[in-house]
Structure 1
Amino acid sequence: MLTGNRFLAALLLTAAPLVAHGAHAAEITGAGSSFAAPIYQAWGDEAKKAVGISLNYQSVGSSAGQNLVSARTVDFGASDAPVAPAKLASSSLYQFPTVVGGIVPIVNIPGVASNALKLDGETLAGIYLGTISTWNDPKIVALNPGVTLPDLAIAPVHRADGSGTSFVFTSYLSKVSSAWKDQVGAATSVQWPGGAGARGNDGVGASVRATEGGIGYVEYAYARRNSIPTVQLQDKDGEFVKPETASFAAAAAGADWEHAPNFAVDLLAPAGKNAWPIMSATFVLVPTNAKDPARGAAVCTFFANAFRTGDATAQKLDYVPLPETVKQQAVSGCPTKGSN
């Protein structure tokens, strides 16, 4: 039996003839998740050299990614919000994960260094509900002894587009705050109680950087790349955890992939020491009846190559690679033949 990278290499060799057959098979298009954009763009650079496949990926948000692949406008969609089984069936889509990553709150508070501020889930929900409106609110002060917090209005920033990152963030708030669950809930788009909207992780990051008192939520790579201060969050055991590779890996280690239908694993507020509480897998959606079979096969080859060779790149960008068994299951189920 083939295992690990040998299995993925064999799949690459099997799919290669399918890729070679269409004039446009070496070019694929994808759209959706801005959370996943950095890794897909990096894997795209590698795939062009390794397997001759060029990727055009548009970071337009998870909701748009789902809609575009359902309409067969792109060869694959990308979403941080897993698609429900009924919708996968009705849209003839196959869903699989690619990497795991952390969603992090970012702040712009004069005089407060990155990771100096500590928040728990209830307080974070209160900020976005508008019941906590200044940075020196007693609830924030109580969590931060020794930190000088200014009498400055909090300016929450949220995603304006339909967003898997918002789905993950609001799902976390719903899990840790009954008030948030009852008043707002979790979805790719919600009725935000207040604050300003911005498009994409990069838009939220830019808005927070430009706004004194700002707070937002982004995929970690955007915060690190743009040197935007992050915060510590309280984990399930009541300890405060910094957003970093070790805490992301600790959270991902407890994922129950075996019992997750369509790979839709729950990584929010996981148990375990030093486990970052806002984690998500990000998913690819591939038509099971691609209009162009060669392009459909090329998508599967692209991700087989990424799974075989792309772990170091993922880690460099602060994502957590999937376990080898999950990679194998994901690629072996990928539809390498389409229908006209």
Structure 2
Amino acid sequence: MRSGDNDFQGRHGHQTEHMASPQPDRETRMIGYLKDPAIPVKRRWLTAVPLCMATLAALAATPVHAEGVKLSETGSTLLYPLFNTWVAAYTKAHPDVQISVGATGSESGIQQAIAGKVLIGASDAYMSDSDVMQHPQVLNIPLAIAAQTVNYNVPGLNAAHLKLDGPVLAGIYTGAIREWDAAPIAALNPGVSLPHQAIVPIHRAEGSGDTFVFTQYLSFSEPSWENDKGYGTTIEWPAVPGSMTATGNAGMVQAIQSTPYSIGYVGVSFSDGIAAAKLGTVALKNGAGEFVMPTKETITAGAASLGPRTPPDERLSLVFAPASGSYPLVNYEYAVVSTKQPDAATAAAVRSFLSWSIVPSETNEAYLNSVHFIPLPPHTWELSQAQIQSIK
């Protein structure tokens, strides 16, 4: 699927005046406080925490059926580790709520949420314009900010942090660049002794939000890729001799580890697995022309430079930001949820869980840190809360 209806200008340049929906008094006070420019951001968040907790307490007090509520989630393998952590903590505090989780890929998460097969679809990708037009009742709600890494297995160089850019990666995945010592790679890595070995490009087998983000980077930085292949959770990959596929982020890590001279892309929540496998991590060229590694600081910088443009429907690409010091493979992690739930108790349970998952607190930040995610900035948090409250 080529997401041609979500072009670079449309998603990076879409900036709309936010018109918040009417909200309960607690949310109104909280959001007004978070928006007050006279108050330092850190102080706004610290002082807002009690209001956030009061809001969650009110949501939790909403009556539910005596037998409890069952929620279902599936989708992103990048979000899967965090959802497991969230669900364990949330259901411990809310024993009347049961939540099932799955790791089926972002495309599956979106489609199953649209079809009503699950209540929450987890996705690294936002819905396409055509899907939104066909299913206007389905929301794209950011819960956190994540990133993807480009990883490789080149014996003797896995600690070197090879430098690559979008045009070179596009060349690797089209087959135009076939060896590790090819001139375009050598030009980006002067002084590095590169092997004359065939590159094995690996991409995801299933519809994946990681593919969505990775191919956005190729599209935004290399016009020939944008014009020919574009981006999406699924694309028509070029037929490159020796190329491979892998299922899920865990499968991608395993495939790169077991295949010398391979390269692939992996969600940042699998950073510990990447380190354990002793894979190389690429320093990627960003929109400012700098080669940067994925760190909390560079991911935050990438999100901060584009996040303020987030429109009310929150479908925005954070990829290939132009700011100095920004990492180029950054994305919102979405809950894809219908505004029309089966009943009031289910709607209340969904609202409560999603609000709890994004509340600014030291505990939630620790959950995000465990998978190398960062929390939503105030502007995006406000928009996500407004969308969550529209679930009925």
TM-score after normalising by structure 2: 0.81
Unaligned runs of 5+ in 2: 1-28, 34-47
**Letter aligned with residue 62 of structure 1:** S
1:235-293 deviations in Å (ceiling 9; x for gaps) = 22222111122211111111234542411122111122221011111111112111243
Matches within 5 A, 1:22-41: 23-25=67-69, 27-41=70-84
Secondary structure of the structure 2 residue equivalent to 1:243: coil
Match of 1:230 in 2: 281
Distance change in 2, residues 1:230/1:19 (3 Å): farther
Question: Are the equivalent residues in 2 in contact too, given 1:62–1:162 (CA < 8 A)?
Answer: yes
Question: Are the equivalent residues in 2 in contact too, given 1:293–1:337 (CA < 8 A)?
Answer: no
Residue number among 149, 153, 164 corresponding to 1:104 in the alignment: 149
**Letter aligned with residue 328 of structure 2:** P
Distance change in 2, residues 1:264/1:306 (3 Å): same
| 1:242 and 2:286 are equivalent in the alignment | no
Percent of aligned pairs with the same amino acid: 30
Residue number among 118, 131, 139 corresponding to 1:94 in the alignment: 139
Aligned-pair CA distance for 1:198: 1.2
Aligned-pair CA distance for 1:297: 1.9
Distance change in 2, residues 1:100/1:199 (3 Å): same
Question: Are the equivalent residues in 2 in contact too, given 1:28–1:56 (CA < 8 A)?
Answer: yes
Counterpart CA distance in 2 for 1:210 and 1:285 is: 34
Question: Are the equivalent residues in 2 in contact too, given 1:108–1:212 (CA < 8 A)?
Answer: yes
Aligned-pair CA distance for 1:86: 5.3
Match of 2:116 in 1: 72
Match of 1:47 in 2: 90
**Letter aligned with residue 128 of structure 2:** A
Secondary structure of the structure 2 residue equivalent to 1:265: coil
Counterpart CA distance in 1 for 2:91 and 2:310 is: 35
The alignment of Structure 1 onto Structure 2 pairs a total of residues equal to 337
Residue number among 314, 322, 331 corresponding to 1:271 in the alignment: 322
Distance change in 2, residues 1:261/1:317 (3 Å): same
> Post-superposition, which runs of at least 4 consecutive aligned residues in structure 1 deviate over 6 A?
none
| 1:183 and 2:228 are equivalent in the alignment | yes
Match of 2:261 in 1: 213
1:170-192 deviations in Å (ceiling 9; x for gaps) = 11101101121122111111111
Counterpart CA distance in 2 for 1:247 and 1:55 is: 33
Match of 2:37 in 1: none
Aligned-pair CA distance for 1:9: 2.1
Counterpart CA distance in 2 for 1:297 and 1:166 is: 33
| 1:164 and 2:204 are equivalent in the alignment | no
1:141-174 deviations in Å (ceiling 9; x for gaps) = 1111121211111000001101111111111101
Matches within 5 A, 1:2-41: 2=30, 3=33, 4-18=48-62, 20-21=64-65, 23-25=67-69, 27-41=70-84
Aligned-pair CA distance for 1:232: 0.5
Moved more, 327-336 or 317-326: 327-336
CA RMSD in angstroms, aligned pairs only: 1.9
| 1:119 and 2:167 are equivalent in the alignment | no
Match of 1:204 in 2: 252
Residue number among 261, 264, 280 corresponding to 2:331 in the alignment: 280
Match of 1:316 in 2: 370
